[in-house]
Chains A and B, each alone.
Chain A
Amino acid sequence: MINKVFTRVLTIAVLLSLVGITGLFATGKGEADTEKPTLVWVTSVQGGREPEEIPLFEDEVERLTGIRVQFVKPPGSEYNTKLTTMLASGDQVDIAYAGGGTFVSLLEQSLFEPLTDRIEASSVLSDPNIIPPSEWERVRQADGEIYGIFNKFEQGTLAIIRGDWLDKLGLSEPQTLDDYYDVLYAFTFDDPDGNGLDDTWGMAIGYTLYDTVGLFGAYGLMRGWVYDGSGELYSPYATDTAIPVYEWLAKVYADGLMEPNFITNNSGAFRELFMTDKSGMNFYWAAWVGLYNQQVKAENPDNPFEARGIAPPEGPGGRLLKAGGDGFMVIPGLSEYKDEAFKVAEFWHTYDGNIISTLGILGHDYNMVDGKYVLTEIGEAHAMDHGAPQPKSLKWVNPLGNLEGFDDAAAIVREYAKPQMATAYDKIWEDITRGEAAKIILGDITAAQGVANMRSRFAEEGIGQY
């Protein structure tokens, strides 16, 4: 009898719960309709630097634009998955950050709102003193439309060297691949840090080849995919022209001048080696010249450490560096708040937008003292990077000046860098090229075998013409 009563009570409870759940769904939707819209901004780069800073950043955007935003900021490694899942499942996304292959692939899915008319009608974005018309033309798609608004000046990558080690050993800046080898040799074996121990490497890199475009550039070879004269994709790194560069890298490794974790290092690992006197060279973004100097000096102002960007080696193909691929703010076609989303993206390129994207949040990252910008301790730690450390706007002048060494590095990038073409096959390129390159560098196969393997594996995947 007790069991029967208990079962009946439980049954009624389950039924009521089901009714309740249904009611909750209905109520939730009704309430949402009456609230002021909150834009969902999915990004891996813009916004607060720490999770606790994100709500402050949302408030600051609202203070400056009058529009409420909510940031969704997944970790970089999961960003594509999160963004794709949100878009595919119809979740609210009003502004999304997309760059490289992600932008290309999602564009092919017709997911983005064309923004051409809005950009042309915008007094900010159509101002040639802010963004040159040639830049918009460069990103105009085959259908004549523009689908993304630039996030920042993307800079580029270059060789960053320990300038103080160079001076201490009486070396001059290397100009050719042979010079680069000599400098790496001295950094490895001539005790550049003066501690009497054999504990330094010439260079430390990560992800196998990241980002050694400057080395391949000596033979005129660009990273990733390139269209040949007949309009077919091919990989310059998989051509026989690249063989001398792989042989150079293999020699550097075999002679012990390269830190051996080069395949499994992430960027944090090789940055750490550089800042802790373990390696004398790495290849990274120009902005990091300034950031290296700032971070090491913040720890110990008397440290002789000097990060310096240097020109890429000159070779038969001249000199070449990689400019950063464009990262865009896009507005999904399904967004219900396209006007508001565009206003926020437009704001990003105003002076106030440049300030928030660099210095950060008033009262948190910086204060105004006697009409001047003064970074707080938190602001110092955030190194003037809240999504666009170098804004795209030509009008932008950082009121606090740039970090030590950055201007020279940026000048080198501007002189030699070209953007890498983004395709939907970039991930496959990375996998195959890095895999075979690693085997060459480790000495497991010859450079000729390696590039032949790359070509056959690309053909196996049905990509490119060989």
Chain B
Amino acid sequence: MGKNPDREVRMSSIARTAYRARKDWMLYVLILPALMYFILFAFLPVAEGANISFQNYRFVGESEYIGFQNYQRVFETAGFWRVFRNTVILGFSNVLLTAFIPMLLALMLNEVMFSPWKRFVQTILYLPHLFSWVVVGGIWIFILAPNGGIVNSIRGLFGADPVFFLVKENLARSLYIGINLWKQAGFVCILFLAAIAGINPELYEAAMIDGAGGFMRAMYITVPELMRTLKVVLLLNVMGALRIFDQIYVMRNEVVAPKVDVLMYYVYIRGLEQFDLGYASAISVFIFLITLVITLIARRFMKYNV
């Protein structure tokens, strides 16, 4: 950036920072609105949440500081560990499936040569992503309903008794993971297709000259070239893994609740239904810290450098 790099090298780090700030002050002013947005709407609420987690919080009047008592209550409640387990199972299944299956779909779609068909399939795959969870939940409740649901109507044609899929405890997690995949796969698939489109065609031409077939080209050119996109997708998925809420809020029912209730829903109930804000904030801080640690580990593990 600087016009005189030698002068910068000779300075101490503090002096160098001050020098750059003076020189580029206009750029710092330009980032002020974005910075203020993040301070006001991201950092301050997180800090206030952490503050509340150490209080017996009341909406009005003085709130008493109670140290780590809220955290102690959280870790001593059996219900918390149940939802934590559910969150880990659902969250990390989503992380893996909504990364690798869309990649597989993209690889398969890339082999489709008939463009109209390819575009049609892409559109069909992408469509669920446009719907909110309220709509998606309604669609699947309708599809799987025992009375009038599409699946059970088809089963009925073959004389089978209706099955109430949405209240089968042993099916619940698989069903929720599958529906999440159905909703998200199209979007992630498009990311991979965009990455495939950016691969240098000369690599394929060279491989073809060397006699590589379609499978070999996919394995030795396309897949390695998709690794950077896969890392981004995995990292984004990991960051959202513990924050599942919308789907559970819309689709849960009391029968499968012990298998699918997740941390964010638990926070919602404790905080906004029971007004136990200190307790709910303690869980939120816990989620924040766990997400931070997992994200840092994931970055290191994946040598994220995009």
Q: Do A and B come from one complex?
A: yes
For residue A255, CB closer than 8 A to chain B, the reply is no
For residue A264, CB closer than 8 A to chain B, the reply is yes
For residue B272, CB closer than 8 A to chain A, the reply is yes
Q: List A421-438 residues whose CB lies under 8 Å from chain B.
A: 424-425, 427, 430-432, 434-435, 438
Evaluate contact between A18 and B32: CB separation under 8 angstroms: yes
For residue A442, CB closer than 8 A to chain B, the reply is yes
* Min C-beta distance of A461 to chain B, whole Å: 6
A434 proximity list for chain B (CB < 8 A): 254
In the bound assembly, the distance between CA atoms of A279 and B277 in angstroms comes to 43
Nearest chain A residue, comparing its CB with the CB of B78: A460
Evaluate contact between B275 and A110: CB separation under 8 angstroms: no
* Min C-beta distance of B142 to chain A, whole Å: 10
Nearest chain A residue, comparing its CB with the CB of B271: A84
Contact pick for A110, options B33, B58, B268, B269, CB 8 Å: B58
* Min C-beta distance of A249 to chain B, whole Å: 14
For residue A81, CB closer than 8 A to chain B, the reply is yes
For residue B115, CB closer than 8 A to chain A, the reply is no
Evaluate contact between A261 and B145: CB separation under 8 angstroms: yes
Contact pick for A263, options B26, B27, B164, CB 8 Å: B164
Main secondary structure of the interface of B (DSSP, over half): helix
Taken residue by residue from 149 to 174, chain B's Cβ proximity to chain A (1 for < 8 Å, 0 otherwise) reads as 00000000000001010110000000
Evaluate contact between A263 and B255: CB separation under 8 angstroms: yes
Nearest chain B residue, comparing its CB with the CB of A424: B274
Evaluate contact between A263 and B147: CB separation under 8 angstroms: no
Interface size on A, residues (CB 8 A): 43
Q: List A374-404 residues whose CB lies under 8 Å from chain B.
A: none
For residue A80, CB closer than 8 A to chain B, the reply is yes
Q: List A246-274 residues whose CB lies under 8 Å from chain B.
A: 259-261, 263-264
A439 proximity list for chain B (CB < 8 A): 255
Evaluate contact between B58 and A11: CB separation under 8 angstroms: no
Taken residue by residue from 78 to 113, chain B's Cβ proximity to chain A (1 for < 8 Å, 0 otherwise) reads as 110000000000000000000000000000000000
Q: A80-B272, A105-B275, A110-B60 are in contact. Are A435 and B254 (CB under 8 A)?
A: yes
In the bound assembly, the distance between CA atoms of A407 and B60 in angstroms comes to 44
In the bound assembly, the distance between CA atoms of A208 and B27 in angstroms comes to 60
Nearest chain B residue, comparing its CB with the CB of A461: B79
Evaluate contact between B59 and A87: CB separation under 8 angstroms: yes
For residue B29, CB closer than 8 A to chain A, the reply is yes
For residue A298, CB closer than 8 A to chain B, the reply is no
In the bound assembly, the distance between CA atoms of A264 and B26 in angstroms comes to 58
A259 proximity list for chain B (CB < 8 A): 147
Evaluate contact between B29 and A110: CB separation under 8 angstroms: no
Q: A10-B30, A17-B33, A110-B61 are in contact. Are A105 and B255 (CB under 8 A)?
A: no
For residue A411, CB closer than 8 A to chain B, the reply is no
Evaluate contact between B272 and A81: CB separation under 8 angstroms: yes
For residue A32, CB closer than 8 A to chain B, the reply is no
Evaluate contact between B33 and A14: CB separation under 8 angstroms: yes
Taken residue by residue from 89 to 118, chain A's Cβ proximity to chain B (1 for < 8 Å, 0 otherwise) reads as 000000000000100011011110000000
B254 proximity list for chain A (CB < 8 A): 208, 263, 430-432, 434-435, 438
In the bound assembly, the distance between CA atoms of A424 and B274 in angstroms comes to 6
A430 proximity list for chain B (CB < 8 A): 254
Q: A81-B272, A442-B164 are in contact. Are A14 and B59 (CB under 8 A)?
A: no
Evaluate contact between A442 and B147: CB separation under 8 angstroms: no
Evaluate contact between A261 and B272: CB separation under 8 angstroms: no
Evaluate contact between B167 and A438: CB separation under 8 angstroms: yes
A334 proximity list for chain B (CB < 8 A): 60
Taken residue by residue from 245 to 259, chain B's Cβ proximity to chain A (1 for < 8 Å, 0 otherwise) reads as 000000001110110
- Show 14 A/B contacts (Cβ-Cβ < 8 Å), sorted by A: A106-B275, A109-B58, A111-B59, A260-B146, A260-B147, A260-B162, A263-B254, A264-B167, A430-B254, A431-B257, A432-B254, A435-B257, A438-B167, A461-B79
User: Which B residues fall within an 8 A CB radius of A?
Assistant: 26-27, 29-30, 32-33, 58-61, 77-79, 141, 145-147, 162, 164, 166-167, 253-255, 257-258, 268-269, 272-275, 277
User: Which A residues fall within an 8 A CB radius of B?
Assistant: 7-8, 10-11, 14-15, 17-18, 80-81, 84-85, 87-88, 101, 105-106, 108-111, 208, 259-261, 263-264, 333-334, 424-425, 427, 430-432, 434-435, 438-439, 442, 460-462
